[in-house]
Amino acid sequence: MNERIRELVEKSYIYDKQNDSSFFNKEKFAELIVQECAEIAYNKQYKHSSAHTRGDCAKAIKEHFGVKE
């Protein structure tokens, strides 16, 4: 698992004051992943050149999260 995924996992824990404990929130984790992927796709598509394809965006997302093909 790459460092960015670890950071998103850490951000997905929610503190429960009543029980004085933390729990992993899967929905929060999914939301963070989607937000990050959208930002990568947007930056790849619009900040470089219009010649980039969906494949370029997919590759950038995989590289960002350290996913091997």
pTM exceeds 0.85 for this model: no
CB 40 within 8 A of CB 60: yes
How do residues 4-61 score in pLDDT, each as one tens digit? 899 999 999 999 899 999 999 999 999 999 999 988 888 775 555 555 666 788 888 8
User: Please, which residues bridge with residue 23 across strands?
Assistant: 14
Which residues, including other chains, have CB under 8 Å from residue 2's CB and lie 6 or more apart?
A: 65, 66
Gyration radius of the chain's alpha carbons: 15
DSSP 1: -
Cα separation, 62 vs 17, in Å, equals 36
Closest CA to 2 of 60, 47, 64: 64
